[in-house]
Amino acid sequence: MRCPSCGGLNPAGADWCGQCLRRFTAPPPPPPVAPRDAPAAARQVPEFREGAGGPVTVSEQGITWRCRLCDHDNPLAASVCEVCGSPFSATVKEPEEELPERDPNTAALVSLFFPGAGHAYLGRWPEAIGRAILSVWVAAVALVAALAERVPGAMFLAVSFALAAFLLWVVASHDAYRAARREEDLSILRGRRYMYVTFALMGLLMLGLVTAVTAAR
């Protein structure tokens, strides 16, 4: 086979020219793409098999998904269940691990002995460790500042951090009680508030150190 572009000789049935890389055969047409406004059933659908145990079922009646809450079979184009209104995303996502039921009063009482212990009692270890580290750090700063009473500004830091340590103790008990009752929205120290409190305490510590260094000079 002679290339019409460069005149090079190629084996019979070749798809490309070995010299100029010209293609001899036309490329296959791309697969049709459904428009964005097409219904969900017309778009690419994952390959499911009937009886595979998943939420989506392929049968003679079409492709349906079974709601996890009410077991109603909905058409694939439906984004929410036709019976209970549960979204399709709630059916396909992995269920969250259920924490054991604990007594709220016990969780609050345990937190009064040590901040974060109540959350550990509830099985919320990341929160428990974070609260424990923050409370221990604040109490340590208050103790060190109280021992260095002759340093300018040390007593202000001691009183401020002692008050912060006491508030963190009380808030940890309150939040553990709310967490045990599944009322996380009523927790005081959660999410960004925890970060803001940490930054505020670090800023207060830096201000005290700068004041002490300036007064020493």
Per residue in 188-198, pLDDT tens?
Answer: 988 788 889 99
Parse the chain into domains and list their residue ranges: 1-30, 40-92, 104-216
Query: Residue 166 has what pLDDT?
Result: 94
Query: Residue 74 has what pLDDT?
Result: 86
pTM: 0.54
Ranking 12-21, 28-37, 111-120, 159-168 by mean pLDDT, the lowest is 28-37
Q: Is the pLDDT of residue 11 over 60?
A: yes
Selection from 21-25, 66-70, 121-125 with the highest mean pLDDT = 121-125
**Confidence category of residue 48, pLDDT binned at 50, 70, 90:** very low
Mean confidence (pLDDT) of the chain: 80
Q: For the purposes of burial, counting CB atoms within 10 Å of the CB of 54, is it exposed (0-12), middle (13-18) or buried (19 or more)?
A: middle
Residue 187: partners with Cβ closer than 8 Å, 6 or more residues away: 174, 175, 178, 179
Q: What are phi and psi of 56, to 5 degrees?
A: -100, 135
DSSP code of 64?
E
